[in-house]
Structure 1
Amino acid sequence: MTKQSIFKSIIGYTGVSITIAFFIGFINFLATGYQARFLYDINNLSINFSYAFIIGMVNLLAFSLLYQKYSWENDAKKLLFIGVIGSIIWSTLAFLLARVVHIVFIEGYSFQKFIKNESAITYIIALLIAFVVTLAYHVVGFYKALQDSKLKEKTFESESHSAKFDALKNQLDPHFLFNSLNVLSALIDENPEKAQDFTVGLSKVYRYVLDQKHKDLVSVQDEIKFAKTYLNLLKMRFENSIDVQIDDAISKIEAKIIPLSLQLLLENAVKHNRISEKQPLVIKIYIENKCLVIQNNFQPKVESLSQKRNGIGLENIKSRYNLFTDEKCLATKTEKNFIVKLPLLQLQNN
């Protein structure tokens, strides 16, 4: 325990001791035929307070040592058993010692007379005080341990969540760059001039990737705007072989999604499907049931049939959604289409 916590405990036990002193006085009030002398008998109140305070301080010291060895989290039963039994023993001994000092050394009675005049009720009251003190200390200790445990659990969960989320976002850099360089490599062979324009455009797009990847959420409007920029790069490579249709209703939606999710899905569509003027890749982006839907016609490349269809992009999106929200990112493959639904978060309708 820190000095500050010990000081607070002493202040707390002082208040408890005063309360117990009045409680003992009230018992005497009932025992003496309702004579309210205990209210103004400072001497008796002081004695009662001293007994209660001594018992409280002994328990405070004992429990401080006990909590250094045991904890509610790992040793709850042992702590409760030792605390209750121990409190009865050391409280009785402390009360007996206090009584000896008070009666023999202060009041001047002989030890034999002290022993002769002692009654069981006196020690029953002492044990009652010890029980109240022990119960209060255990309740406070257990509640504090419970709160600390919850705080540690939340802190660990938050740190773990953040670490996993950052790890997933850090996958985006090499993934995006690798796919973009593949496009650039193909473009260099086919059209060197367009390859130069592609390089300039790629630098702008990659800057956006670096800016957005550290965010947890981005607006749908920003993601659509970026997607259009990215599509311009793809059209340098595929020209009219890609047809993208973006629903105008999206402009009326104020919502957020996982950053770079739209761009990753566009990458996947290009990577895994055959694209030509005779077989154009048609991508539709629209809103449906509080989701941003990305749909493309399903015409897989031959080498993709034996490979995992989703790739790192879609799995990355799903994993980030799972860490960030209970809303699920759904992917559906039909005979003609491949459809991904991204849940819209913090949705507001204009």
Structure 2
Amino acid sequence: MQKHSYKLFRLYGYPGFGVLLYLIMVLINPLERTMASWKHYSVLDFILEFTFSIFYATVLFETGIQITTALNKWYNWEGRIKSRFAIQVMTQILTIYILITLFFQFRFPARFGYDELMSRQILIIGVIFSLLITAVFAAEHFFYKWRDASSRSLELEQHTTQAQLEALKLQLDPHFMFNNLSIVTALIEDQPKTAISYISKLSSIYRYMLANRMRNVIAVAEELEFIKAYLYLYEIRYGDGIQISVEESKAAASQGLPPLTLQLLIENAIKHSVFSLDYPLRINIRFPNNDTIIVENNKTVKVSNDYSSKLGLQNINERYRLMNQPLPVVTETNSCFMVEVAMFTLN
């Protein structure tokens, strides 16, 4: 729990409540008695009586603050609300009673009317205000406790969300690695120069993944540059069996995407399609407007698909959900499969 400052309350609240207490004392006494006293007052008497009211308000609230601070250290609210409330109220009432008793030991001029009746009135007001003050401090304690709990819960949720995003960004299809290692093995024997280039592109891909693993959004232009290295691997493997076209767009320089979004969409298209040199897989990346990007491919679905975890699209959907962004829109026809994803304006 944080330590609270009552500086402004002390500065403005005490005089304000002093005025209120003075008005209460005027209202609860018969008008004749009040006027009979005021008839003999000088300006200094009015100032003195008003000062007493401010002093009494200060005593009421200051004792409440000090008792609250002390009990918070030695007997807090957790698990003992009733007993804590009773102890605080009784302590404050006892303190007020002692101070009022001492105050009325002084002999004031008869015109003030500070008699036994006035003493009881002030004590009753003190008891009522002690109950209200204790209730206010109890409410304040639980309000700040609730706020702190909400703040910790929100912070924990943010950390959890960030952890989930990190896990999703590092989530790779094991087949991608195994397939590329197999291809490198074959190239080393038959085409060593191509194998070197292939390994270089493969390392740049993983370098990109590691370099951007802490970022939730990356420029579309950077993602497209990464895609060029990524597609090189498939060109070596499938030749002209895969044809990809990327539309030019000015939005690519100012808009962003979650890292690896395009890679996952392209991999999804390749994984779920059958293609050859005679019937190539055509993937188009285009920008219908400044807010979205579309990845679409001709539909050449495998007759017998291997088991698919649909990890790619699930990964993208989950990342957009965690970032509180519109989910990707999937459109499928007999001849085309299209995914439209939102882009983010970079700061």
Structure-2-length-normalised TM-score: 0.76
Of the three residues 58, 63, 84, the one matched with 1:58 is 63
**Cα distance between partner residues in 1 of 2:263 and 2:43:** 80
**Cα distance between partner residues in 1 of 2:215 and 2:43:** 67
Question: Which position in structure 2 is the counterpart of 1:157?
Answer: 157
Q: Going by fraction, where is helix more abundant, 1 or 2?
A: 1
Question: Which position in structure 2 is the counterpart of 1:111?
Answer: none
1:56 alignment partner AA: F
Question: Which position in structure 2 is the counterpart of 1:24?
Answer: 21
**Cα distance between partner residues in 1 of 2:44 and 2:167:** 71
Query: What is the CA-CA distance between 1:286 and the residue it aligns to?
Result: 1.3
Structure 1 residues 279 and 189 mapped into 2: Cα distance closer, same or farther (>3 Å)? farther
Question: Which position in structure 2 is the counterpart of 1:285?
Answer: 285
Q: Secondary structure at the match of 1:274?
A: coil
Structure 1 residues 207 and 115 mapped into 2: Cα distance closer, same or farther (>3 Å)? same
Question: Which position in structure 1 is the counterpart of 2:76?
Answer: 69
Question: Which position in structure 1 is the counterpart of 2:327?
Answer: 328
**Cα distance between partner residues in 1 of 2:343 and 2:321:** 14
1:53 alignment partner AA: T
Question: Which position in structure 2 is the counterpart of 1:214?
Answer: 214
Of the structure 1 ranges 161-170 and 32-41, higher mean CA displacement relative to structure 2 is found in: 32-41
Residue deviations 1:150-198, cap 9 Å, x none? 3223211211111111111122496754453344346557755433321
**Cα distance between partner residues in 1 of 2:150 and 2:42:** 45
Structure 1 residues 209 and 347 mapped into 2: Cα distance closer, same or farther (>3 Å)? closer
Question: Which position in structure 1 is the counterpart of 2:137?
Answer: 137
Query: What is the CA-CA distance between 1:14 and the residue it aligns to?
Result: 7.0
Query: What is the CA-CA distance between 1:341 and the residue it aligns to?
Result: 1.9
Residue deviations 1:68-87, cap 9 Å, x none? 6336xxx7xx85x7777666
Residue deviations 1:23-68, cap 9 Å, x none? 3334456653394959744654554444433332432244342586
**Pairing 1:152-301 to 2, within 5 Å after superposition:** 152-172=152-172, 177-185=177-185, 187=187, 191-248=191-248, 250-253=249-252, 254-288=254-288, 290-301=291-302
Question: Which position in structure 2 is the counterpart of 1:338?
Answer: 337
8 Å CA contact retained: 1:212, 1:260: no
Structure-1-length-normalised TM-score: 0.76
Structure 1 residues 180 and 24 mapped into 2: Cα distance closer, same or farther (>3 Å)? same
Cα RMSD between the aligned structures? 3.8
Asked if residue 123 in structure 1 is aligned to residue 123 in structure 2, the reply is: yes
Q: Secondary structure at the match of 2:300?
A: coil
**Cα distance between partner residues in 2 of 1:20 and 1:229:** 74
Question: Which position in structure 1 is the counterpart of 2:94?
Answer: 93
**Cα distance between partner residues in 1 of 2:321 and 2:277:** 38
8 Å CA contact retained: 2:283, 2:298: yes
Query: What is the CA-CA distance between 1:135 and the residue it aligns to?
Result: 5.6
Query: What is the CA-CA distance between 1:130 and the residue it aligns to?
Result: 2.7
Runs of 5+ consecutive residues of structure 2 not aligned to the other structure: 109-113
Q: Secondary structure at the match of 2:330?
A: strand
**Cα distance between partner residues in 2 of 1:224 and 1:322:** 23
Structure 1 residues 161 and 175 mapped into 2: Cα distance closer, same or farther (>3 Å)? farther
Of the structure 1 ranges 148-157 and 39-48, higher mean CA displacement relative to structure 2 is found in: 39-48
Query: What is the CA-CA distance between 1:101 and the residue it aligns to?
Result: 2.3
Structure 1 residues 210 and 347 mapped into 2: Cα distance closer, same or farther (>3 Å)? closer
Of the structure 1 ranges 253-262 and 22-31, higher mean CA displacement relative to structure 2 is found in: 22-31
**Cα distance between partner residues in 2 of 1:38 and 1:10:** 33
2:22 alignment partner AA: G
**Cα distance between partner residues in 2 of 1:10 and 1:255:** 48
2:222 alignment partner AA: D
8 Å CA contact retained: 1:54, 1:94: no
Percent identity of equivalent pairs:
25
1:63 alignment partner AA: T
8 Å CA contact retained: 1:293, 1:340: yes
Structure 1 residues 345 and 242 mapped into 2: Cα distance closer, same or farther (>3 Å)? same
**Cα distance between partner residues in 1 of 2:95 and 2:236:** 89
Structure 1 residues 154 and 179 mapped into 2: Cα distance closer, same or farther (>3 Å)? farther
Q: Secondary structure at the match of 1:256?
A: strand
Runs of 5+ consecutive residues of structure 1 not aligned to the other structure: 109-113
**Cα distance between partner residues in 1 of 2:186 and 2:107:** 105
**Cα distance between partner residues in 1 of 2:215 and 2:170:** 12
Q: Secondary structure at the match of 1:264?
A: helix
Residue deviations 1:218-251, cap 9 Å, x none? 1112212221232123212211111112223x34
**Cα distance between partner residues in 2 of 1:346 and 1:38:** 73
Structure 1 residues 133 and 158 mapped into 2: Cα distance closer, same or farther (>3 Å)? same
